[in-house]
Amino acid sequence: GHRGRCAAEPQREGGLLGSKMAGILEEALVAYTYVGLWICMSAGVILYNKYILTVFGFPFPVALTMIHMAFCSALAFVLVRVLGVVKGINMSRETYIAKIVPIAGLFAVVLWMGNTAYVYLSVAFIQMVKALMPCVVYTVGCAFKVEKYKKETMMNMMVIALGVGIASYGELNFNLTGFMLLMGSIVCEAVRIVSIQLLLTSADIKLNSVTTLYYVSPACFVFLLAPFVFIEAPRFASGAEDVNLDPVVLGSNAALAFALNISVYLLIGKTSALTMNVAGVIKDWMLIFISSVMFDAPISSLQLWGYLLAFAAVCYYNYQKYLERVAAEAAKGAGGKAVKLDDREASGGIEMTKQITVNGNAVPNSKP
């Protein structure tokens, strides 16, 4: 029994306990190194994208996203098919068309709108508005009957929305076009997350961040051809703009986006969803301040207060989710009925989905 085991513990030799402690410390160190890497890469990709689109001289968000997709598809192909480091899944063409293609289509819209927003808005403001993500996911989830409507949760969501509203009102360089694009991107992202639950989780298709790239990125690339051909190619061809095509910059940017995905792949399973939520929070605050200094985009105090309110409400929501998950695990452990956990939460919740929108790297459906 449990009691007997505890009693026996002190009688073991100190050496064994020492090595056990060392093992635990080493594990924690590895986990936190990965988390640190993820924070740096995630923030790095966002800042690098912003730099390329606004400073460097390549104001083509769709083309940039297509470079990411092509690069990531190719490397994922090598990892899955050539080296066999990551196991693919057997998927029929019908399944691919019915389940993966719609998600890739939504993803293309998310990336197109989300990355275009960086041309018009500051990174700090975008991070603040993205605090709306849980609200939108919850609302869409309720509409699709994936989430249960609860009055308390809806009140929580209202507080988040109010905070984001105040932050938007306080934004000094507000741009309506950018804001509409960003909101469109967030709504499509929410629909994509819910679709992943409806299409993949229900069919028990489990993709990790590498197999996602392998299956989703090529289809996403094809979808992105439409906005590219109609919106960006004519601008490109007219030669009116001075376009900087430095392969080192564009290549390293795509490589960083891919590396971010690999860090997500390594992270899942090494840390808890809660750790990932906390890491996401640290990343957001870091991004807000670093980007404000880097791109000389001032932040008003009203804006910070608004974000602080939204941020507190998001933390409270994530904490409630965490408690629900613990209760569900306990029920499962006590031989009760296994409760189907929300995969989005299981893979690090809202924070993971935030980072996805920006750099074209979906982490749909990974269990920790």
Q: How far apart are CA 162 and CA 167, in angstroms?
A: 9
Among 166, 40, 54, CA closest to 117: 54
Q: What is the pLDDT of residues 86-106, one digit of tens each?
A: 888 888 999 999 999 999 999
Q: Are 253 and 64 spatial neighbours (Cβ–Cβ below 8 Å)?
A: yes
**Can you point out the beta strands (E) in 273-353?**
none
| pLDDT mean for each 10 residues of the chain (368 residues) | 54 70 84 89 96 95 97 95 89 93 96 96 96 94 92 95 95 95 97 91 85 94 97 89 92 95 81 79 93 92 95 92 88 63 40 38 39
Q: Are 58 and 115 spatial neighbours (Cβ–Cβ below 8 Å)?
A: no
Q: How far apart are CA 206 and CA 81, in angstroms?
A: 18
Amino acid at 362: A
Count CB-CB contacts under 10 A for residue 132: 24
Share of residues in the chain with pLDDT > 70 (%): 87
Amino acid at 307: Y
Q: How many CA atoms lie within 13 A of 239 on its CB side?
A: 0
